[in-house]
Structure 1
């Protein structure tokens, strides 16, 4: 499709129809400029914008339904297609609003699990995340005037996610298209280009579907436009099927017997801790029961026991009763235990979220400190200023201090890589862990605050995508669920129920080979994003040149 010059003010009203999907009507004579006609056009434009905003909001909600716990992944394609149609050949300003109208309801529903903190937190974070869809909508409108616009739109989705995953305060990757497609035909693309390539595949397919719909609307099933529509539909199907041609490495080089202990918590919500030592005692008791089952021959002795994040609700190095309880459990089971604990330090104003490998012989040894604490959850940016306004932030009495190295440790005789909770959402942290020699990925997490809200299911989908991306099994230990074993092909082999005490005895596959995604890192993401940005620059340049030529006539 050739680049076109934006309509002049006196013909702009001929560009709306059906007003909601932005499909242009056939040109009609321009009415004489008189007040009643102008008022009618303004009223019609207002109604069209209202309908367009409503459709954008509905499309954003449809995108949420593509994510767990609903998991209707085809809706991710439909939602992308809808946004492409709603912004097609609109002005940048109009499309920017459409992007926001799409993004806000999407994030409000997706992040509703934050309501346990407060609905103000849901709305506030959703607004911040939806702002990233403002430039996305404007950019989709600009590039919709270029030939091959579905391709540029796919690149722009990657660019939006790249920025949102990093800003502000280290970013918040929730809601990436890839995380709605952890068990879809697009998933194998992760082994080639990571999560960004999966998002690109989904966005490109959605754009091609939009092109097919648009051509079909214009042609009414006849002529050249009909062939264009058919070609776009065929290309969309081909892109969606590409994943089937991608080999996903799954052959294990060995295995490790692992017991995942889910000790459970006192109650869901913000105040899940209960009384001091309660959560620790739950995990100690479950481990002691496992030792009795081993002695009775009901289960085999594992090589490693994994406890979740915050499985010790007291710092074992500060409170002797916690240290002694952990030591008793570890010595009784007779194998190393990976313990999750909050440890004081490195100064009086900070704590560290750690995974500590506890030996039955030598006690605590190697450890991993969470590298990416969650802003406003584990630390407070601008604490002095914000606590004067938001008094609830005083509940976070000390900031979490970030670690400075990966979580690769020798556990039970194998090199495994520990990541803690939300870190699994960040591409670089998991990739660095695998490239540092992890033969499998361990996720220690505490989802008790968000139990029964859909958040644990959303995180489980991330485990599935990471397994395929890195060709590594993922074993997750959660205080209250969902604990799970995910095979290297993304299959959930075992999974616990929420808010139950349970021990998963699993055989953890170990692999040494790396995927293409591990080797090339963030190159596909940055390349696709830069192509998207350059396509916007070309669209702006062509638009300005067209206007200058028009003035020169």
Structure 2
């Protein structure tokens, strides 16, 4: 029975994320997992959480099979262990007063750990990422993803508390009504916060041309094909973007945005690639933010970068800070290569950047624009994303290469996370991908324009230039710290209370 319930809990949690988007199943999954954590034996609780995690992540990150068949077999069980830990912690803290708060904090604390350990963490499926279309999404600009995830979790634990009241024999009405009223107020608060208008800006506007060159091939690690053909495609779509602007279909751009991996050849060292980008820049007559794989800093190393490219060449750059384990670099590579020789397909090892993702570039006319640059996988990591706003990014861009995952659920998941980030920062986000979902997301997370996967696409968007930060940039990290502290103290208190109860029972 507990195994079936565990599988159902994992399924409910998975359904909250894209491509399903059934946000209301997340609190139900949280509540069911919390109920399962009441089993007598710790081993059974851990197993229940692990089984739920296997289903949750087995569904939502199954797309990793296109990189190599063995990758989800490695990744999913590791991630499932975190869900097992959540269940184990909840078993302890449910012995405390106001246990729904403690049990919800377990999600916040464990998610904070999971996005950091091991190997830099994997932050893809967090409760807060399920809220783009939910009432809970109103909390994003105030509490951040971490705090909003807590709100989702506490709604689930409050529902369980209400069910406990139905099963109880004393003060039944109060024990049922109180948690339900609190849960309703939580939902209402989210609706109210969603309605708060985005503060108007008086710092002008900038027009950005999005270019999606498209690539040939089917899903898999070799989708990008020949590096120069991909760059050729983006040159062609840049011509299309300028044709649309010069014929009045779109506004004339101040900047052209190319996606991640629009060239896998370093234009600073490869003359032919430099000529291709130079040709596109000459046709556009404005700077291009190029997504490039650049050489170095060491031998047999590379970096995934955003290059501000003008007629004079590169004038500023940002290097991706969160590299994909086993996709862009191989952890413990000597051991991994010995055990899994196919892991050598990663090739040159990516070296993460260390600076915040803000590029200062000069537009035509001498105007300097600070661009918040986020590259693909980094979207899942709070610190990296928040730094773009905290360090002065005036417009936000996402460059991504999802070609490897064409036909899987990954591109939709990533686009949904991008919407979450727009809602947190209350900033428009301009998105350019090689072949999936490019376009414009509004400051409330609304989809203003979105391309069709597997097609070439070019369109210009005029967006406000903004400054300042939202409360989420400060409150979100604080929610994680408080969650970890509460859960650590709560787990200790739960152990003490449990021992005291056993002593009383033994007397």
TM-score (norm 1): 0.87
Q: Distance in 1 between matches of 2:474 and 2:86?
A: 29
- Against the structure 1 CA distance between its residues 527 and 545, is the aligned structure 2 distance closer, same or farther, given a 3 Å change threshold? same
Q: Distance in 1 between matches of 2:337 and 2:266?
A: 26
Equivalent position to 2:233, from 282, 299, 302: 282
Equivalent position to 1:331, from 282, 286, 305: 282
Q: Which residue of 2 aligns with 1:349?
A: 300
Q: Which residue of 1 aligns with 2:392?
A: 437
Q: Distance in 2 between matches of 1:439 and 1:496?
A: 24
C-alpha contact 1:92 1:142 (8 A) present in aligned 2: no
1:59-458 residue pairs with structure 2 within 5 A? 59-88=9-38, 90-218=40-168, 224-246=171-193, 247=196, 249-253=198-202, 254-269=204-219, 270-359=221-310, 361-411=311-361, 412=363, 413-458=368-413
Name whichever of 450-459 and 118-127 sits farther off. Answer: 118-127
Equivalent position to 1:541, from 485, 492, 496: 496
C-alpha contact 1:183 1:464 (8 A) present in aligned 2: no
Name whichever of 401-410 and 541-550 sits farther off. Answer: 541-550
Match of 2:303, SS state, is strand
Residue 509 of structure 1: CA displacement?
2.5
1:444-483 residue pairs with structure 2 within 5 A? 444-483=399-438
Q: Distance in 2 between matches of 1:431 and 1:353?
A: 19
Q: Which residue of 2 aligns with 1:25?
A: none
Q: Distance in 2 between matches of 1:237 and 1:334?
A: 54
Q: Distance in 1 between matches of 2:84 and 2:243?
A: 58
Q: Any idea what the Cα deviations from partners look like across 1:444-483, whole Å, max 9, x if unmatched?
A: 1100001121111111111111112112211111000211
Residue 250 of structure 1: CA displacement?
4.5
Q: Which residue of 2 aligns with 1:9?
A: none
After superposition, the CA RMSD in angstroms is 1.6
Q: What stretches of structure 1 of length at least 5 have no aligned partner?
A: 1-50
Equivalent position to 1:512, from 467, 480, 500: 467
Q: Any idea what the Cα deviations from partners look like across 1:156-202, whole Å, max 9, x if unmatched?
A: 11011011010001100011001111221111212122111110000
Q: Any idea what the Cα deviations from partners look like across 1:205-236, whole Å, max 9, x if unmatched?
A: 000011112222345xxx62233112211111
Relative contact order (C-alpha < 8 Å, sep 6+): which is higher? 2
C-alpha contact 1:71 1:180 (8 A) present in aligned 2: yes
Match of 2:171, SS state, is helix
C-alpha contact 1:209 1:232 (8 A) present in aligned 2: yes
Residue 93 of structure 1: CA displacement?
2.6
C-alpha contact 2:240 2:458 (8 A) present in aligned 1: no
Match of 1:366, SS state, is strand
Match of 2:259, SS state, is coil
Q: Which residue of 2 aligns with 1:525?
A: 480
Q: Distance in 1 between matches of 2:505 and 2:160?
A: 30
- Against the structure 1 CA distance between its residues 255 and 190, is the aligned structure 2 distance closer, same or farther, given a 3 Å change threshold? same
Q: Distance in 1 between matches of 2:244 and 2:503?
A: 82
Residue 299 of structure 1: CA displacement?
3.0
Corresponding pairs, count = 498
Q: Any idea what the Cα deviations from partners look like across 1:32-61, whole Å, max 9, x if unmatched?
A: xxxxxxxxxxxxxxxxxxx11111112201
C-alpha contact 2:308 2:315 (8 A) present in aligned 1: yes
Q: Distance in 2 between matches of 1:445 and 1:320?
A: 24
Residue 520 of structure 1: CA displacement?
4.3
Match of 1:498, SS state, is coil
Match of 2:135, SS state, is coil
Q: Any idea what the Cα deviations from partners look like across 1:273-313, whole Å, max 9, x if unmatched?
A: 22241100000011122233333444331011100000013
Residue 248 of structure 1: CA displacement?
5.8
C-alpha contact 2:214 2:230 (8 A) present in aligned 1: yes
Q: Which has the larger radius of gyration?
A: 1
Name whichever of 146-155 and 422-431 sits farther off. Answer: 146-155
TM-score (norm 2): 0.95
C-alpha contact 1:64 1:107 (8 A) present in aligned 2: yes
Residue 538 of structure 1: CA displacement?
0.7
- Against the structure 1 CA distance between its residues 250 and 119, is the aligned structure 2 distance closer, same or farther, given a 3 Å change threshold? farther
Q: Which residue of 2 aligns with 1:45?
A: none
